[in-house]
Amino acid sequence: MIKHRFHPIRYFNAIGTAEPCLRIADGDTVVTDTVDASGLDAREVAVASRPNPMSGPFFIEGAEPGDTLAVRIDRLTPSRATGWTYSPLALTVLDPAAVIDRLPQQRAVWDIDSKTGTVRLQEPGKGLEDFAPPVQPMIGCFGVAPAGGQALSTATSAQNGGNMDYRLFAPGTTAWFPVSVPGALFYLGDGHACQGDGEITGTGIETSFEMEVTFHVLKRTITWPRGETAEEIFTIGNARPLDQALQHATTEMSAWLGEDFGLDPRAASHLMGQVVRYDVGNVFNPAFTVACRISKRWLTKR
């Protein structure tokens, strides 16, 4: 198992089939740089300027269509002392009647304090003078190349992952992606220093990162992304409308409970009906994201 240090000179604004930037073995770790849209000054971007520039693609030896790529998020370290967000609330989360009075869009800069582990607005405004939420780094956009030679914009998400903006994609989590092309062709980027559920202003605190991830190829098939923390398992659905995203996540969780925990569909429904938790990953992007989450305390067989 090797730890690779990769410095990108080129970033992608779509996740698809492209020449790999690096070939690695099953079990290897990659440490790489990611940038937010404001960090591209002297960088080459593979596609016209759009959100969420991605590092990659990384080719993982032994990954074949029908497999699953497990990506353990080892470390996310902001590489800049500032980040940025937008206000006000996004159109997608407001009543139609409130849209007419919505303020113009405005960009705000945040200080990222590594010593205190907090973020603060540089111009907080009235009532937010003492507002300093903790730094909680997460990956907003990552995934593998989709099937059929497609290239999907990093503004959206699908079965291959993509711009899910789910706050549990954080250090200590292992994310699973369905492999559709040889080598999986994995991309990552869009680091957030902090973000609430839903990405309801259209951004987290966007900044550049050094990211460290470890790859494992699993010889099993999944349909939608999955994730695991020390305490929970979760499944992801990406779609619009929101209820369709929830349906994908719920169906994937029911399948997982059968595959790994020995529950038939009726038993799975009994368990899920009482202890499942749903999170909204994002309600801003073209595809919304819903996570279906269960505590491991309820799972007795694996």
The domain spanning residue 182 has which CATH number? 2.60.120.580
pLDDT band, residue 41 (cuts 50/70/90): very low
pLDDT tens digits for 215-273?
999 999 999 999 999 999 999 999 999 999 999 999 999 999 999 999 999 999 999 99
In a domain, 109, yes or no: no
CA distance 63 to 44: 28
pLDDT band, residue 49 (cuts 50/70/90): very low
Q: Which residue, chain included where needed, has tokens 């969420």?
A: 52
Which of 187, 218, 249 finishes a domain? 218
In a domain, 120, yes or no: no
- Torsions phi, psi for 108 (to 5 deg): -125, 145
Which of 218, 251, 274 finishes a domain? 218
Mean pLDDT, rounded, of the chain: 94
Residue 86 burial (CB < 10 Å; 0-12/13-18/19+)?
A: middle
Burial pattern 240-251, b for ≥16 Cβ within 10 A else e, equals eeeeebbebbbe
Bridge-based pairing of strands 10-11 and 14-16 is unpaired
203 shares its domain with 71: yes
Residues shown for the chain: 302
174 shares its domain with 238: no
Q: What is the CA radius of gyration of the chain?
A: 19
- The pLDDT of residue 37 is 75
pLDDT tens digits for 97-131?
999 999 999 999 999 999 999 999 999 989 999 99
Which of 218, 249, 273 finishes a domain? 218
pLDDT tens digits for 144-178?
999 988 999 999 999 999 999 999 999 999 999 99
In a domain, 197, yes or no: yes
> Which residues constitute the domain of residue 146?
3-80+136-218
162 shares its domain with 204: yes
- Of 112, 30, 39, the C-alpha closest to 73 is 30
